[in-house]
Structure 1
Amino acid sequence: MNEVKIRKIIERVIEKIEETVNLPVEASGRHVHLSKEHTVQLFGSEDQLTVKKELSQPKQYQYQQRVTLIGPKGIIQGVTLLGSARGNTQVELSKTDAVKLGLDPPVRESGDLTGSASLLIASEKGVVLAEESTIIAKRHIHMEPADAERLKVADRQKVAVRIMTDRPVVFEDVTVRVNENYRLSLHIDYDEANACNYMPGTQGRIISLE
């Protein structure tokens, strides 16, 4: 086997390795997860909501209906509504969104709502006060157990990820979330996406573990 053939084989192996360690990156815009109680108050029932599309994570979807967020200093209309209903209403914003609304929500992981910001959520049928509902979602990676084993990381571990764009950025303090129902994906908000010049198809790579 000559040197040229060996080099091509090595290049193909390297390409294959890179494919297996890269992370798909998704930019998550502002959105709302309603509780069953708030769903009833705003739409009558969950049956009144129409699924628009499935999301990348299994059993997660976006509704056709939208809501309006009302804060002390501003309003944001046409906000995406995700399903299905949760135990507690959760609103996820970027820092830019929060400033527009006049809020100062904490950076938190999903579900950690104690002491978070409150706001009003409106639909065509009503308005609810969603107390301790609003956070800036902490960047995180969804993955299956097989992905965690391959990447040598564990659930709740913190890692640093390099975003591979023409404006590369390293995001630190990224939480790994492992569940058999997850699909491999790094989630960042639009502020973070703009900082690294994100576009669909962008990938990241874990470069250090904490």
Structure 2
Amino acid sequence: MSDSQLIASIVDKVLERIAEADPRQVVVGISNRHVHLCDADFLTLFGYPAPQVKKYVRQHGEFAAEESVTLHGPKGTMARVRVMGPNRSASQVELSRTDCFALGIKAPMAQSGHLETAAPIEIEGPAGRVSLDHAVIVAGRHIHMGPSDAAALGVHDQDRVSVLFGGERGGRLDNFLVRVKESYLLELHLDTDEGNAIGAATGDYVTICEN
């Protein structure tokens, strides 16, 4: 086991103990702009088949990769956008609304993997470029949880819940999508726009409440 995997395992155990004490407490993860790539697009962009691990993130098997790309939109360019691994079945670019304004992209707010109305983008890597017709979304606020977490909270996959944030800019945010999967660990995701607006940071704890 690598050092990063060992640290992640220890953190998971600590968070499990906290969740046992109060299942409504959930850790925050702020999602910066990032890219998920399918095998074919990754190969075109980098010239080899799979991303290299830079740092594991909280969800099992997922990691920030060593690789990054440059995004090209109608009004601008954004360099050093992190690739997330492992590769997926379809390429997806997750941006904040502020990022979209900077690039001149009109992206819909959508759940990860729902790319039917996603916006187009051109992605540049060291070995090539790809132009994607449906790739860019602004990810809606959501909470990952396993079946036992959902049972403890009395919620189900695709339910919506509200969350209380503390601090000087704290408040209540509604309409967090509940996403339940056996492999998920309890974690709330916001993008940088929403995190900054309510004063939240990765590693904070917030409270799930009734809608």
Q: Give yes or no for TM over 0.5.
A: yes
Contact 2:71 2:124 in 1 (8 A): yes
2:114 equivalent to 1:80: no
Q: SS of 1:20's equivalent?
A: coil
1:25 pairs with one of 28, 35, 40: 28
**Structure 1 residue identity aligned to 2:83:** L
2:41 pairs with one of 17, 29, 38: 38
1:179 pairs with one of 171, 175, 181: 181
Q: Give the C-alpha shift of residue 17 in structure 1.
A: 7.9
Q: Give the C-alpha shift of residue 20 in structure 1.
A: 3.4
Cross-structure match for 2:7: none
- Larger radius of gyration, structure 1 or 2? 1
1:198 pairs with one of 192, 200, 204: 200
Alignment of 1:125-144 (within 5 A): 125-144=127-146
Q: Give the C-alpha shift of residue 173 in structure 1.
A: 1.1
* TM-score under structure 1 length normalisation: 0.88
Write the distance in 1 (CA, Å) between the matches of 2:104 and 2:167: 32
Q: SS of 1:156's equivalent?
A: coil
Write the distance in 1 (CA, Å) between the matches of 2:121 and 2:67: 19
Cross-structure match for 2:117: 115
Write the distance in 2 (CA, Å) between the matches of 1:25 and 1:50: 25
Write the distance in 1 (CA, Å) between the matches of 2:40 and 2:49: 10
Q: Percent identity at matched positions?
A: 37
How many residues of Structure 1 are paired with residues of Structure 2 in the alignment?
194
Q: Give the C-alpha shift of residue 169 in structure 1.
A: 2.6
Runs of 4+ in 1 over 6 A off after TM superposition: 15-18
Alignment of 1:51-62 (within 5 A): 51-62=53-64
Contact 1:107 1:138 in 2 (8 A): yes
Write the distance in 1 (CA, Å) between the matches of 2:176 and 2:201: 20
Cross-structure match for 1:104: 106
Cross-structure match for 2:170: 168
Contact 1:164 1:202 in 2 (8 A): no
**Structure 1 residue identity aligned to 2:71:** L
